Chains A and B, each alone.
Chain A
Amino acid sequence: MVLQTAEAPCSCMEASENSQSFLKAYRWMLLARLVEEKIASLYRGGKIFGGVFVSKGQEALSVAIGSSLRKGDIFAPLIRDQAGRLAFGEPLLDCLRTYLGSRLGPMRGRDGNVHRGRPKEGMLPMISHLGAMIPAVAGCLMARRFRGIEGTVGATCIGDGGTSTGAFHEAMNLAAVERLPLVMVVANNQYAYSTPNSRQFVCRDLVDKAAGYGIEGHSVDATDLGACLKTLGQAVDRARAGHGPQLVIGSLLRLAGHGEHDDAHYVDPALKESALGRDCLKVAEQHILSSKWAAESTLLDWNEEAQKQIDDAVALTIREPLPDPNQEDWCALATRHLSEG
């Protein structure tokens, strides 16, 4: 079943609530955009080892996931989910500490960049292998059921390319069989690295896959924050209400390279000019201004505040201790006495 996001007329009360959640989400998007710009500039300055992967253009979809979940839910973000991570509650410092390798970060320099999380707090640390996080979220939800904990939703993200993995297919089917409250969000940004969708799948629309798994599907214009908040809110609600897995397809365009090393010269200029190529942050800003939810000067203040928060976090992180091989315990096991070291 494909649900269309209904355009219901809303009361004034709802309108003000909507504006509050919209503005809150916008500020997370802004913080995400600016922190990733900062990381990209640190990368260009040779301050970051390995790759840098930004989510420019995908903040609206991502933030809508993080904002629709609540404390106690499960979230497995992927490469381009800086905004969703912040909205779900990941401290800004986690991002900088992981990119810069601080020993005080959640990954302690052992893993880097987007490969970070706090599994005890319901935020799973992605492995690189695409699709691998989906069954793990399903397992978290099965565990909640075994433990008699009700009302949990688990959400995870993937790209258009990641839908081609066996892991995606197996996990969607498993979640459907178990009727798990899993929200699977696909950011269809038209490319997997350099590979266009035409070399990735030929179904008319990725949302059609929902029918194949016997689950509910949703489509959303992911350049539109309001639409994302509404659709993700609805999908999370339906999962929580016992309607089983929800597949959400957000359409957009990756507005950066695959990573900062990539100039994305292969992106079709026609796509950049199309509605998909709109920058969700700019679109949200326009909406705020035209709805008179905030003045231009307020937006500038927010920008400055976010920038200050980032500068402070960077200043703190770069003074923090780096991993030290002599202090590292080089033990991969929890059962320490069984480690061969």
Chain B
Amino acid sequence: MITYLEAIREAQAKALADDPRVYIYGQDVGQFGGAFKATKNLAQEFPGRVLDAPISEDAIIGSAIGAAIEGMRPIIEMQFADFSTVGFNQIVNHAATMNWRTQLPCPITIRLPSGGTAGGGPFHSQSMEALYAHYPGLIVMTPATVEDAYSMLLEAVAIDDPVIFCEHKYLYYHLKAESLPTEAMPTGKARVARAGRDATIVTYSAMVHESLAAAEELAGEGWEIEVIDLRSIKPLDTDTVLASVARTGRLLAVGEAFPWGGVTAEILARVASEGYDLLDAPPRRLNAKDTPVPYHPNLWGTHRPTARTISAEMRELLRR
């Protein structure tokens, strides 16, 4: 059995082994193997290519951009997604604009340990994908399975553009697979995680699993819910979403991030403008609440969507 976290480690090992242009840079990623152990033993296996960085996110990202200009393929680990805000300027203004301004691509991969865990609190729990997806020039991946964590990270390194790789901390240890995949769906293609005909849930990352659990619960009540795993939120596979809504006529978009704007709003906007006639009921969206992510599990468990609240939201949708 291999966990989501081990898959990320294995993908980096393969990237380092296959491509001499790859190196890993981030706080505590060297001998220590990273705060979450996503780079365990890589410094030992690939001497001189897995380096501890100072606590300087702006310079870490900025240096990766420079290295990419000179032909390298850096993988940057942020210790937590939340700290990427300190490197935000370099990501959105420098890396994201490079190819458009100069026709020189900027192939950097920025790994963001994302999302909430019990007791994480407001600064170790955030889901930043929508923020980065907003900016032209970035690709934003949000893998929900062990297989995708592995194959999408390899693809992120191979892609010539800056990739924000949102890996979910809750899935690190909770998710296991038999083995690593040998082939993969291309980035930009969503996956039907569960087929159904009564309604569609479109979601990504850890919320795929909450949504699958909700679909299972609703199956007990006789409903067949389709669950779409977006895999990457930019590009967002509108075709697969529309095809599903065409089958079911009902849409619920679910995300763990804050409610204003964001991925779920984007999904509803696209379906409303491109597939209005497919809808049998007003589409709905479910997100975290409009406050910072709370520390105590009593609050955190209510702040973000769960299988229970997704089921409740879906029952509302099915009533219409």
Contacts and interface: CB of A to CB of B under 8 A. Distances in A.
A161 B55 contact: yes
A201 B54 contact: yes
B31 interface: yes
Find the residue from B31, B82, B83, B299 having the highest chain A CB count within 10 A: B299
Given A162-B55, A192-B27, A192-B55, A50 B121 contact: yes
B31 A266 contact: yes
A298 interface: no
Contacts of B260: 340
Nearest to A49: B119
Interface stretch (B154-162, B184-192, B244-252, B289-297): B289-297
B86 A129 contact: yes
Interface stretch (A79-87, A305-313, A317-325): A317-325
Interface string A109-145: 1111101000000000001111100000000000000
Contacts of A165: 55-57, 86
A110 B56 contact: no
A186 to B, nearest CB: 13
A273 interface: no
Contact of A112 (B28, B31, B54, B295): B295
Given A128-B82, A192-B55, A325-B302, A115 B291 contact: no
A197 to B, nearest CB: 10
A194 B55 contact: no
B31 A332 contact: no
B76 to A, nearest CB: 16
B216 interface: no
B291 A332 contact: yes
B296 A109 contact: yes
Contacts of A129: 82-83, 85-86, 123
A66 interface: no
B312 interface: no
Nearest to B79: A193
A339 interface: yes
B32 A194 contact: yes
Given A51-B119, A194-B28, A323-B299, A199 B52 contact: yes
A172 to B, nearest CB: 15
Contacts of B301: 325
B55 A49 contact: no
A110 B296 contact: yes
B124 interface: yes
B289 to A, nearest CB: 5
Contacts of A146: none
B298 A324 contact: yes
Indicate the size class of the contact surface on chain B: 35 or more
B299 A328 contact: yes
B292 A127 contact: no
A181 interface: no
B98 interface: no
Contacts of B295: 49-50, 101, 107, 109-113, 115
Given A112-B119, A128-B82, A129-B82, A49 B296 contact: yes
A101 B291 contact: no
Contact of B56 (A51, A101, A166, A341): A166
**A contact patch SS:** loop
Interface string B271-302: 00000000000000000011110111111011
A266 B33 CA distance: 11
Given A50-B295, A109-B299, A129-B85, A115 B35 contact: no
Contacts of A164: 54-56
B35 A193 contact: yes
B58 interface: yes
Interface string B13-35: 00000000000000110111001
A256 B83 CA distance: 24
Nearest to B59: A166
Given A340-B290, A341-B290, A110 B299 contact: yes
A219 B280 CA distance: 72
A192 B53 CA distance: 11
Nearest to A100: B296
A48 B259 CA distance: 29
Given A101-B298, A107-B295, A129-B83, A193 B123 contact: no
Given A164-B55, A331-B291, A340-B290, A128 B86 contact: no
Contacts of B291: 110, 330-332
Interface of A: 48-51, 101, 107, 109-113, 115, 127-131, 161-162, 164-167, 192-195, 199-201, 266, 322-325, 328, 330-332, 339-341
Return the 9 tightest CB-CB contacts between A and B, nearest first: A50-B119, A49-B119, A194-B32, A325-B302, A128-B123, A109-B296, A112-B295, A164-B54, A101-B296
29 contacts: A49-B119, A50-B118, A50-B121, A50-B295, A51-B119, A109-B299, A110-B296, A110-B299, A112-B121, A112-B296, A113-B295, A115-B122, A128-B80, A128-B82, A129-B85, A131-B55, A165-B56, A165-B86, A167-B86, A192-B54, A193-B28, A194-B52, A195-B52, A199-B54, A325-B303, A328-B302, A330-B303, A332-B290, A332-B292
